[in-house]
Amino acid sequence: MQYKLQLVKIMKIFFRKYIFSFLFAVLLMTPLFAMANNAFEGLNEAANTGYLGNEVGTGGLNGNSVMTDIPQAIGRIVGIVLSLVGVFFFLLMIYGGFTWMFARGNEQNVEKAKSIIQSAIIGMIIVLAAYAITVFIGSALTSSDAGVYSR
């Protein structure tokens, strides 16, 4: 029995050292994997070739914004809101799973967890349907040939 305890202790020490040394080596090797340019290289290249053009003089306010249509802006806002609501329902499903896992056989907690998971799934279905409807309506409103069906 004493021999097994010593063996387990030695194995724990070995694995701790092994895992620590592996993580330390990965941490040291991370800069080699990045392979990124230094901060000044892009600035020098932009200054030499004139990537900025006339934007420097006007501060970027030349009237050529990326999003000028109101339906496009509303579509993006609705997409962002639906994404956040979808994340909320996903987290609610995880919470229901943890509640079920830690119920320890208590039927009341298990039923509560099932109810949470079912509500989260229904919410996710509603959010996905709303997103699909939003994309469909948004593409119909913003297309140049609205109302014309083509394959």
**What dihedral angle (degrees, nearest 10) is formed by the CA atoms of 5, 9, 15, 20?**
160
> Is the sign of the CA dihedral 73, 71, 141, 85 positive or negative?
positive
For tokens 């290249």, what's the residue? 45
Average pLDDT in the 2-10 region?
76
Would you state the pLDDT for residue 116? 95
Q: C-alpha distances in angstroms, 120 versus 64, 67, 83, 126, 139?
A: 42, 34, 14, 10, 28
**Calculated CA dihedral for residues 34, 38, 39, 45, nearest 10 degrees:** -120
pLDDT-derived band at 74 (thresholds 50, 70, 90) equals: confident
CA-to-CA distance for 100 and 105, rounded, in angstroms? 9
pLDDT in tens, 81-91: 888 998 999 99
For the chain, give every domain's residue range. 66-142
Question: What pLDDT score does 11 carry?
Answer: 81
pTM: 0.49
- In whole angstroms, give the CA distance from residue 123 to residue 96: 13
Bigger pLDDT: 72 vs 61: 72
Enter the tokens of residue 2.
């004493």
